[in-house]
């Protein structure tokens, strides 16, 4: 199995799915050139009708993706940075998310939205935010947050084949992360979490780029006999409640590691789920390690202080296991 990067995995998934389905097409800001590398070469391969640079006009082209989907195609729509979704909030939240329901099931909206999110080193608050929580309470959307190249490829392929609007959040700091990725058909279903490391002292539910960070901490702590089980939900909607709860049933301790903000975040949502359905499994309070409730700052020491790092993850695990 060849080792490829997170960005190459995106490119592979796009290329394979566009080859597979002539109704797919790709549009977004600088996708022809492939500003971040993921879409490089697709314009040459699929031509100008199916690979289109858009103006910097998020409401316009995100809304156009909605219309194109309703008219029978399968758009893949890229906004460069996830914070730019704010410019197209109506098109995603009022249109893409709701039109199937509001039309009594007549509309089909097979759209894949892609965007880079997260703190990636000095990009400041308008290019570094983890924005998926803003979409958690909008029924009708699926949210995908891959933590590495193999899942990236498999989840993106599934997202493109899904008949609903799916937002795929691609962490900017994971771009050059490499791992073995199956060639060709490799699908990871939406709604199936993965155990990234088995353990029995504590369950750490880690999202996106928090998975590799938590894995490092788990490696370190394993030398002291603290065995961390890492559950990667992979998709926040649908959420694999069963795997999260069965892991906690085994470990009796739950930590959620999320780069989103604390207030109203994905971690809060998962914590509430555990409190609702897994209270009897718990021997300790549920803990969250998240970004602070501040806009993500520019200067490197401030940025580091705002988002979860290995130190904070380690401290939280030690607190929960009492060692």
Partner 1 sequence: MDLGKEMMLQMYRSMQRIRHFEAEIRDLAIASEIPGFVHVSIGEEASATGVCAALRKTDRITSTHRGHGHLIAKGGDLKRMMAEIFGKRGGYCKGKGGSMHIVDFSLGILGANGIVGAGLPIATGSALAAVVTGRDDVTACFFGDGASNEGTFHESLNLAAVWKLPVVFVCENNGFGEFTPMQTVTAVKDIAVRASAYGIPGQIVDGNDVFEVYRYASEAVARARAGHGPTLLECKTYRWEGHMVGEQAILGHGSYRAESEIEEWKQRCPILRFEKFVLEGGKVSGAELERIRTETAAELKEAIAFARSSPLPNPSEVSDDVFA
Q: Which residue out of 43, 127, 171, 261 is catalytically annotated?
A: 127
Q: Which helix (H) or strand (E) holds 258?
A: strand 254-261
Q: How far is the CB of 244 from partner 1 (least distance, A)?
A: 21
Site for partner 1 (CB under 8 A): which residue of 35, 36, 52, 125?
Answer: 52
Site for partner 1 (CB under 8 A): which residue of 34, 37, 60, 295?
Answer: 60
Catalytic (active site) residue 171: no
Look up residue 323 and give its DSSP letter: -
Q: What number of chain residues touch partner 1 (CB under 8 A)? A: 45
Residues of span 92-121 touching partner 1 by CB under 8 A: 94-95, 99-110
**Could you give the C-alpha distances from 19 to 42, 50, 131, 232, in angstroms and in order?**
10, 11, 31, 30
- Extract the tokens encoding 89: 């909030």
Beta carbons within 10 angstroms of residue 151's beta carbon: 25
Strands (E), the chain: 3-5, 24-28, 51-53, 74-81, 112-117, 142-144, 166-171, 178-180, 194-197, 202-206, 228-232, 235-237, 254-261, 287-291
Residues of span 138-167 touching partner 1 by CB under 8 A: 139-140, 142, 163-164
Q: How far is the CB of 182 from partner 1 (least distance, A)?
A: 27
Residues of span 64-93 touching partner 1 by CB under 8 A: 64-73, 75, 90-91
Paired strand residues for 232: 194
Under rule CB under 8 A, residue 33 binds partner 1:
no
Q: Would you tell me which residues interact with partner 1 (CB under 8 A)?
A: 23, 25, 49-50, 52, 54-55, 57, 59-73, 75, 90-91, 94-95, 99-110, 139-140, 142, 163-164
Catalytic residue numbers, as ranges: 127
């Amino acid at each position: 199995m060849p080792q490829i990067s997170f960005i190459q995995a995106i490119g592979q998934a796009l290329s394979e799915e566009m080859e597979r389905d002539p109704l797919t097409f790709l549009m977004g800001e600088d996708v022809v050139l492939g500003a971040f590398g993921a879409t490089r070469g697709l314009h040459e391969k699929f031509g100008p009708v199916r690979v289109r640079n858009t103006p910097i006009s998020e409401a316009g082209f995100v809304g156009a993706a909605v219309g194109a989907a309703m008219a029978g195609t399968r758009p893949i729509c890229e906004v460069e940075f996830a914070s730019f979704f704010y410019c197209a909030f109506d098109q995603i939240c009022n249109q893409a998310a709701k039109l199937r329901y509001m039309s009594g099931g007549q509309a089909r909206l097979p759209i894949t939205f892609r965007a880079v999110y997260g703190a990636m080193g000095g990009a400041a608050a308008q290019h570094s935010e983890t924005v998926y929580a803003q979409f958690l309470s909008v029924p009708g959307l699926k949210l995908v947050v891959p933590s590495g190249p193999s899942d990236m490829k498999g989840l993106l392929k599934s997202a493109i084949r899904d008949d609903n609007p799916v937002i795929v959040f691609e962490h900017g700091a994971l771009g050059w992360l490499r791992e073995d990725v199956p060639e060709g058909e490799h699908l990871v279903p939406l709604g199936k979490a993965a155990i990234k490391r088995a353990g029995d002292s504590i369950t750490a539910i880690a999202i996106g780029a928090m998975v590799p960070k938590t894995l490092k901490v788990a490696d370190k702590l394993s030398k002291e006999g603290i065995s961390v089980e890492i559950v990667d939900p992979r998709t926040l909607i649908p959420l694999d409640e069963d795997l999260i709860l069965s892991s906690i049933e085994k470990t009796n301790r739950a930590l959620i590691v999320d780069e989103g903000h604390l207030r109203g975040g994905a971690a809060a949502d998962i914590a509430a789920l555990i409190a609702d359905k897994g209270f009897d499994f718990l021997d300790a309070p549920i803990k969250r390690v998240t970004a602070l409730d501040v806009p993500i700052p520019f200067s490197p020491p401030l940025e580091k202080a705002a988002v979860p790092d290995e130190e904070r993850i380690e401290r939280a695990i030690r607190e929960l296991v009492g060692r």
